[in-house]
Amino acid sequence: MEKAPTCRCRRRRFHYLYNVVAVTTLMMLQLLSPASASSLSFNFYAISCPSAELIVKNTVRSASSVDPTLPGKLLRLLFHDCFVEGCDASILLQGNDTERSDPANKSVGGFSTVDSAKRVLEIFCPETVSCADIIALAARDAVEFVGGPSVAIPTGRRDGRVSLGKNVRPNIIDTSFTMDEMMKIFAAKGLSLDDLVTLSGAHTIGSAHCSAFSDRFQLASNGSFLPIDAALDHAYAAELARQCPAGASDAVTVNNDPVTPSLFDNQYYKDLLAHRGLFQSDSALLRDKRAMEKVQDFAGDQNNFFTSWEQSFLKLVSIGVKVGDDDGEIRRSCSSVNA
């Protein structure tokens, strides 16, 4: 009579242990199965390629030490990729009529750094890390390398199979855009006015070709210049005209930020308030009351800018991502789709 309860207790303990093992096994299977690739997640490569993020970071670090202009290029590469077809590395595909072949992407750089990271990753973790993730991680690391905040971003993006040059112009921001034109494109990507002001802070690093802003002033026959855009500081416009004389080579570039061009800081916003924004699209931020308030806030407090950058950058690298094998692939080479 006294043994029955003991048996029932043993059975209950057995069923409890069985359920624990079953649930644990199911969780492990879900982690290891292809279904786990159906969404982005932090530490996505923790099991499949633990050194993935470190390999990208070291590649960016090494290349940026040789080429100080690289961080700005990698950040611009990310923007031009994510705003067309989403963050899917479609800008890396080579060929006629691809995004990369469009004249609007002629001055985009950073391709070789992404390719270098991909080659190393294919040695250690073949067919595992997407080119889309490499672009996002490289841009994140580039910002950190020049003094910006370190942002933890989710990974697991798939590479897109479609890249069309005709989709570039309708989706990227031109340096001559008005506030309304920029907001229209940002809103279509799920980004707010605050995101626009924050992500414009990317112009605190990088450089631009003379043709991107030379229409803001006109060179006279005697070599002097005639300011056209009243929003541009006169002395700054004169300096730009000196750096970009008539007939200047296409190779001539000017720093986006004339004060601290190699640091990711809040100087861009201070430049704006001093009417030293390089592009018309920069100066346009001062013509909107809400945008102007954010500019003043960021100019006065770099921590506020960095905090906002982390939030907006996360939204940027999540635009139109492709997840799962049905949406995309893991390219063996970033410049071509898999056979």
- CA dihedral defined by 100, 102, 105, 107, rounded to 10 degrees? 110
Whether the CB-CB separation of 167 and 99 falls below 8 Å is answered with yes
Question: What integer pLDDT is reported at residue 113 of this predicted model?
Answer: 98
Query: For residue 132, is pLDDT > 50?
Result: yes
Whether the CB-CB separation of 89 and 163 falls below 8 Å is answered with no
Q: Is 203 a catalytic residue?
A: no
Say how far apart CA 190 and CA 5 lie, in whole Å. 61
Whether the CB-CB separation of 110 and 69 falls below 8 Å is answered with no
Q: What number is the average pLDDT over the span 68-97?
A: 97
144-148, 324-328, 333-337: least confident range: 324-328
Q: What number is the average pLDDT over the span 219-227?
A: 62
Measured from the Cβ of residue 46, the count of other Cβ atoms closer than 10 Å reads 13
- φ, ψ (nearest 5 deg) of residue 45: -95, 15
Fold exhibited by the domain 179-316: Peroxidase; domain 2 (1.10.420)
Contacts 24+ apart (CB under 8 A), 47-54: 48/125, 48/128, 49/121, 49/124, 49/125, 49/128, 49/129, 51/124, 51/125, 52/121, 52/125, 52/128, 52/129, 52/133, 52/137, 52/155, 53/137, 53/155
Query: For residue 3, is pLDDT > 80?
Result: no
The CATH class of the 52-167 domain is mainly alpha
Q: Tens digit of pLDDT for each residue in 27-72? A: 333 333 333 334 899 999 999 999 999 999 999 999 999 999 999 9
Measured from the Cβ of residue 214, the count of other Cβ atoms closer than 10 Å reads 16
Say how far apart CA 226 and CA 20 lie, in whole Å. 78
Buried b / exposed e across 129-153, counting CB within 10 Å, b at 16+?
bbbbbbbbbbbbbbbbbbbbbebeb
Question: What integer pLDDT is reported at residue 19 of this predicted model?
Answer: 41
Query: For residue 12, is pLDDT > 60?
Result: no
Say how far apart CA 40 and CA 321 lie, in whole Å. 9
Question: What integer pLDDT is reported at residue 226 of this predicted model?
Answer: 67
Q: What number is the average pLDDT over the span 110-123?
A: 98
Question: What integer pLDDT is reported at residue 15 of this predicted model?
Answer: 41
Task: Locate the domains of the chain by residue range.
Answer: 52-167, 179-316
Q: Could you tell me which residue, 303 or 8, shows the higher pLDDT?
A: 303
**Do the domains 52-167 and 179-316 sit in the same CATH topology, yes or no?**
no
Say how far apart CA 111 and CA 174 lie, in whole Å. 21
Say how far apart CA 275 and CA 271 lie, in whole Å. 6
Question: What integer pLDDT is reported at residue 95 of this predicted model?
Answer: 95
15, 80, 203, 275: the catalytic one is: 80
Mean pLDDT taken over the chain: 88
